[in-house]
Every structure is written in C-alpha cells, then in structure tokens.
Homo-oligomer: A and B are copies of this chain.
Amino acid sequence: MTTSVGTPTTLDLGPATGLSCRECGHRVPLAAEFACGECFGPLEVSYDFGAVRREDIEAGPRSIWRYRRLLPVPSDVDSHPNTDPGCTRLVRADRLAAELGVRRLWVKDDTGNPTHSFKDRVVAVALAAARTLGFTVLACPSTGNLANAVAAAAARAGWESVVLIPSSLERAKVLTTAVYEGALIAVDGNYDDVNRLATELAAEHEDWAFVNVNVRPYYAEGSKTLGYEIAEQLGWRLPSQVVVPVASGSQLTKVDKAFRELGELGLVEPTPYRVFGAQATGCAPVSAAFKAGQDVVAPVRPSTIARSLAIGAPADGPYVLDAVRRTNGAVEDVTDEEVVEGIRLLARTEGIFAETAGGVTVATAKKLIETGQLDPDAETVLLITGDGLKTLDAVADRVGPRATVAPSAAAVRAALGF
C-alpha cells in the first residue's frame, strides 16, 4: 500500500481524519492498517464531522450513501458503480409485539439488501475505502453472507475478487457466490484455517483488500448505517431499546456508536437507550462473560445452527460488554431449538423470513422479556440481518404442507377441516 501510506494527506475519505487505537489511543494517518503499532490493539476510524444537517441527509440518495458525511468514504462515493445497499424497511411489528407482550416493537429488515444481508453495507464501505487506498482486488474469508456480498460488489464494480471458503460449505452458499464469477477458492480446512490464510495472503499481496482483515477499520464503520437508518426512520429519534445479534460483536458496537454520534451532532435528542446482545447458546462467549461479570471473553468452540454468528473468539467481544454495560443492557443466549422457534414466530406474525441469526435475535428478545431484562413498555427495535432463503435447512424438518391431497375441492376442504 505504498501509494496511500506514502501520501496520506492526499486521501479523500470524507470526514475521516485518521485511525486511532481503541486500547491505547495511539493515532496514525489514514492507511490500510488495522492493528496498532504500539500495542496491537484494533484501530478505529476517527472523524471530524463538522456540521451535518438532517436536510443534507434527507436530500441524499436512497442508500447508505445518504450518510456519506458520517462514513470513511469519498464525497463522490455514489458516482462509482456499487450495490447501493441500505434504506431497508423498518417494520412496525404489532403482531409480533402482541405475541411477545411488548408495547411498541419494530423490526429492521435487512433482508432487503442486494444480496439479502447487512454485509452489503459493510462491503460497500470497504470497497469505497479500498479504492481510495489504492487496492484493486476485493477479497475475504467467509462462510456465507460475506462471500455473497463481496463477490457481488466486486462484479458490480468491475473489480477482481478473491473469496476463500471452507470446502465443506453448503452447496447453496457456494452457488450464490460462484455465480458472480470472481475467484472463488475452496480450502480444505475449517473456517479458522481459511481466516488464517486470509491474514497471510493480505500481508503478501498489497493490492488485495481483505474487507474484514486489512481494511477492517473502514469495513466495520458500514454497520453504523443500521443505527442511522433506524433513527431517521423513527423520525429522527433514538429507540429506547435495541436487540442486536453478536458474531464478532462489531455490529453491536457500531450501532451504539451511531446512536452516540447522532446525539453528539444534534441530529437527534440524546435520549437514553439500552443495547442488548443476542447469541446462540452453542456459541455464546460474550453472553457467558456478561453473565459472569467478566471483562474478558474466553473463546469457545462453536456448535450451533446459527452459523453466521458462530465466531468462537469474537474480536469485539470486550467492546460489546462495554457498550451493553454502559447502556444498562444485557447479553443473552438461546438454544438452537429456540432459534428455530424464533424464525417461525417472526415469519408467522410479520411475514418476514429471517436466517438463523434473525431467529437468535427474536428468541433472545423473547427470553429477555420473560426474564425481566428488557422493558416491555419501552419501544424496542430488533435487527434482522439476513435472509431465511440462505438457511433453509434450519426449518426444513419443522415446516411443510398441512396436507397432501387428491386434486378435488372436497379433498382440499377436508384437509382444511370443513
């Protein structure tokens, strides 16, 4: 990354001014770096936002780029071909609310993104930053949603892509990535092996932007747009409670960051809010740490159907604990059985078919209510971040036709109990 590191002052990444270490605060110029040179802590983007007005945002495009003044992307970001994710539905969920016994509930339905998960947001920001930083290849290790998003974004932009997946990955996830015809490489190994490979390759190929490795500080900021959109869609105010699935933990910390930024910028009243994390019991290291009152997250070996959340050593786990404790929230976890029931409950009440991670969110919200941790009288938003079409196996044994009948009206009526 000679280009960028050599000439940091010429980089246009909008309001971004540098990178700072979340652990020791050490600051470096904007560049393709992700770990602090002083303490190896994670680097995060710093900004000088200046004045940002609601009108400027509202006059912007119907995509995450309406928030470009709050993201590490060039001001002309939407002039380059990209998947234009975001501006997904915020659904008033009265029927689900009634089932859960809460007063006012919303579902942020991110299945409406171009490849049907929130990953389109973070990848779009990573691509825009990577272009400015001088990269020419978009890459990632992934087991699913991220692979789809990277391959699609690269195709749309006319970039080469390199996507590494475990060779054991389900056929559907392979096909939905391979169809974009980047370089999809199956690796004989598990996700940990693939991830390690990505880090090694990122160090060796200076024109490859591994979105979740060497441009991770930029990539991660894309999740802030979930928080911005929720606030804008509520009429420029913050919800009282938000339930967010936790994999690496990055998304939860960025939604929290978005809410804080909006308050600091005067775009919303800085009203109090509580952030809740949702995990599957089969991979619940952050929930375990929260319940044990610890600051350190002990790694676990994942075993859950919620594969998109199955990160045993979540990089942002400690920051999730910080955000949750600071806002008087909680982290809770649910069994795979409850995950499937969560998927079915959301589908049956609101007509939204979520992937397993969405089942985790819904089931965790239910458990938080039942255990008195989530206030049923306070307005709550649930984040549904991926699509049930990608995890059909989770429900395959539980749902099906009510009956199979002969082709006669009498047979249909009999099956329906008439």
Chain A contacts to B: CB under 8 angstroms: 62, 81, 83-84, 87, 89, 91-92, 94-95, 109, 111-116, 151-158, 162, 164-165, 167, 171-172, 174-176, 178-181, 183-189, 193-194, 196-197, 200-201, 204, 343-344, 347-353, 387-390, 392, 395-396, 399-409, 412-413, 415-416
Copies of this chain held together in the complex? 2
Given contacts A111-B114, A112-B114, A178-B400, 19 further A-B contacts (CB under 8 A): A62-B62, A83-B351, A89-B114, A114-B351, A115-B353, A156-B351, A162-B416, A164-B412, A176-B388, A179-B343, A179-B344, A179-B388, A179-B395, A180-B347, A184-B402, A185-B401, A193-B407, A194-B407, A197-B408
- Of chain B, the residue at the smallest CB distance from A181 is B348
Q: A392–B155 contact, CB under 8 A?
A: no
Contacts of A389 in B (CB 8 A): 116, 172, 176, 387, 389-390
- Of chain B, the residue at the smallest CB distance from A416 is B183
Q: B185–A402 contact, CB under 8 A?
A: yes
A-B contacts, 21 of them at CB < 8 A, read: A81-B94, A111-B114, A112-B113, A151-B351, A155-B347, A155-B349, A162-B412, A164-B412, A171-B392, A178-B399, A178-B400, A179-B395, A185-B402, A185-B403, A185-B415, A187-B406, A187-B412, A188-B405, A189-B407, A200-B409, A201-B409
Contacts of A415 in B (CB 8 A): 183, 185
Contacts of A406 in B (CB 8 A): 187-188
In the bound assembly, the distance between CA atoms of A28 and B95 in angstroms comes to 37
In the bound assembly, the distance between CA atoms of A166 and B402 in angstroms comes to 13
Q: B392–A153 contact, CB under 8 A?
A: no
In the bound assembly, the distance between CA atoms of A77 and B272 in angstroms comes to 34
Contacts of A188 in B (CB 8 A): 404-407
In the bound assembly, the distance between CA atoms of A87 and B405 in angstroms comes to 39
Name the contact of A407 in the complex, choosing from B113, B174, B187 (C-beta under 8 A): B187
A86 nearest CB across to chain B (Å):
11
A124 nearest CB across to chain B (Å):
11
In the bound assembly, the distance between CA atoms of A187 and B155 in angstroms comes to 41
